[in-house]
Amino acid sequence: MLRICTLFVSGSLLVTLAAAQNMPLVEENSSRVSDHVYAIVGFPNIGIVVGSRATLVIDTGLGPRNGATIVRVAKKLASNQKLFLTTTHFHPEHAAGEAGFPADTILIRPAAQQREVETSAADMISRFSAMSPQNHELLAGVKLRPPDIVFDRELKLDLGGVTARLLWFGQAHTKGDEVIFVEPDSTLVPGDVVQDKLVPRVNPGEGSPKSWLAVLDQIAPLQPRHVLPDHGGLGDGSLVQKERAFIDDLRTRALALKREGVSAPEAGKRLTTEFTAKYAGWGNLNLVPTFVDRVYEE
C-alpha cells in the first residue's frame, strides 16, 4: 500500500431520479455531465472521469454485482486500460462494490476514511444487509480490501487531458468524506456533503453540523460549474451555497432553542414543523430531529 502525504452541467443535465434513488441495482447506462465526466444516475449516483490515459470511477454501488455493472459502463466510455477507483465515504452503497472491479484496479482512499473502513465498515455492511433480501444477496460475503494508495489531504490524478483532485477537508456526513474536483471541467463530485434539497444525514459519531459547515467553506472557493452529488438531483455550483444556507439556518435555530432550555426531542418536533413549511419541496424532512440531536451534542 502506497501512502501519499501532501498539503496542498455542458449546459444543464436533465435526469429522471424519482425511482432510481431508492433502487439498489445500478443501471447500465450513463449521462454526460461535462467534457470528461459522466454519471450513472441511481443509488447512488456514480461518477466516471475519462482521460486519454486512465479512467477514475467514483463510488461502487451496493455490492460486487453493481460494481461489475459500473465497470462495463466505464469500459464503454473509455478506450484506455488503466482504471482508478475511489470512494466518497465508507457506507456500503458507496464502497461495498469494489470486488466487482478488475483485480488490477488501483483503489484510493483518504486516511480518515480508511480508519472508518477498519473500525466500522463490517458493522455497516451487516446493517445494510439486514434491510432487505436483495441487499442481503448483494452484500453476501463482502469484505472491503485494503487500498493501494492512501492520502492525507489531497491527491492529484493526471488521467490524460484531465486532472482529478481527490480532497479530504474534514468530517461532515462521515469522518472520512472525500470530495473530488475535476479540472478543467470545474465539476465537483461531493459525495453526500452537497446535495439538492435533501436534509443532511449526520449519524452519531460520524460527523457534526459545525464541522460540515467548515467543510463547505473549504469547498466554496473551488467555484464548481457542475455538481454531481451521490444522492438527489445534479446541478450547478449554487448547490454548495444552498446546502450551507440550510445547515446554518437549522443549526442556528436549534442552538437558539437549546439556549432557551428546550429539550432536543421537543426542538426536533418544533423545527420539523417549521422547516417543513419554510423549505417546501425538500426531501427527508423526517431527518430534522436527528440533525437537531447532533447540534445539541456539539
The grid coordinates of residue 88 equal 466518497
Which pTM value belongs to this model? Answer: 0.91
Amino acid 23: pLDDT: 66
β-pair partners for 189: 180
pLDDT of amino acid 15: 33
Q: What is the per-residue pLDDT for 1?
A: 56
Please state the separation of Cα 145 from the chain's center in Å.
Answer: 19
Work out whether strand 46-50 and strand 37-40 pair parallel, antiparallel, or are unpaired: antiparallel
| pLDDT attached to residue 151 | 98
- Fold category of 2-237 in CATH: Metallo-beta-lactamase; Chain A (3.60.15)
Please name the amino acid found at residue 230.
D
Instruction: Centre a 10 Å sphere on the Cβ of residue 280 and count the other Cβ atoms it contains.
Output: 9
What would the grid cell of residue 38 be?
A: 459522466
What does the domain layout of the chain look like in residue ranges? 2-237
Per-residue pLDDT of the chain (298 residues; tens, 9 = 90+): 554 443 333 333 333 333 334 568 999 999 999 999 999 999 899 999 999 999 999 999 999 999 999 999 999 999 888 999 999 999 999 999 999 999 999 999 999 999 999 999 999 999 999 999 999 999 999 999 999 999 999 999 999 999 999 999 999 999 999 999 999 999 999 999 999 999 999 888 888 899 999 999 999 999 999 999 999 889 999 999 999 999 999 999 999 999 999 999 999 999 999 999 999 999 899 999 999 999 999 8
